[in-house]
Amino acid sequence: MALNDNAFKAEIIALQDEMITAVDYDQAKVIYAEKLMTAIKNYIKSGTLKTTVSTTGTAAAQTGTGTGAIT
């Protein structure tokens, strides 16, 4: 599943709207940084990582690592 661009954009717009009414500049910078960080984390987590793990041996439970990409 692709990243949720619309939700990310909405979070950024809401953050901008909130900051425009800020009175305390120094406090607003802290709030902005925290909320932007959260928005970015949520955006990254909205993606799905697909990976294939190849194992060798029997059909019994296997463990391994895989390499994938968020698409």
Kindly state whether residue 40 falls inside one of the protein's structural domains: yes
62: which 2 tokens?
Answer: 């296997």
User: What is the percentage of the chain residues whose pLDDT exceeds 70?
Assistant: 85
Lowest mean pLDDT among 13-17, 24-28, 39-43, 44-48: 44-48
For the ranges 2-11, 44-53, 60-69, the lowest mean pLDDT is seen at: 60-69
Higher pLDDT, 23 or 2: 23
Whether 35 is in a domain gets the answer yes
**DSSP assignment letter at 23:** S
CA distances from residue 38 to 35, 56, 60, 65, 67 in whole angstroms, order as listed: 5, 40, 40, 28, 26
5 inside domain: yes
Sign of the dihedral through C-alpha 11, 17, 22, 25: positive
Q: Residue 67 — very low, low, confident or very high, per pLDDT cuts 50/70/90?
A: low
Closest alpha carbon to 13 in 36, 29, 41, 42: 36
Q: Quote the number of domains for the chain.
A: 1
Domain membership of residue 58 (yes or no) is: no
pLDDT tens digits, one per residue of 15-24: 999 999 999 9
Tokens 């296997």, located at residue: 62
- Residue 55 inside a domain? The answer is no
